[in-house]
Amino acid sequence: MGVVECAEHGSQEETFVCKHLVLSLKTLRPVGFYLSSEPRGDAWCHACEEVRIANGGPNGDWNDRSE
């Protein structure tokens, strides 16, 4: 994992958010919300969760196909 430098928060581990969550901030369309169990706080929408489960199982990690 990489590290990013934030002027406000200092050095932090990078996190990932799916583009659908970001777009929903503009469209105000509900898309669901899932948060990783890791302390980094990656987040993704319901559509991305369905892809993750279909390609790796409910307890599986993200993989090349699901990402």
| Residue that has been written with the tokens 């994992």 in this structure | 1
Range of the domain at 23: 15-67
Contact present, 35 and 18 (Cβ < 8 Å): no
Question: 56, 50, 61: which is closest to 20 by C-alpha?
Answer: 50
Distance, CA of 40 to CA of 23 (rounded, Å): 21
Task: For residue range 7-58, list pLDDT tens digits in order.
Answer: 998 998 888 999 999 999 999 999 999 998 877 789 999 999 999 988 886 6
Is residue 20 in some structural domain? yes
- The pLDDT, as a whole number, for residue 22 is 94
Question: Which residues are within 8 A (CB) of 21 and not within 5 positions of it... i.e. 6 or more apart?
Answer: 31, 33, 43, 44, 45
What is the count of structural domains for the chain?
A: 1
In a domain, 38, yes or no: yes
Residue 55 lies in a domain: yes
| pTM (predicted TM-score) | 0.78
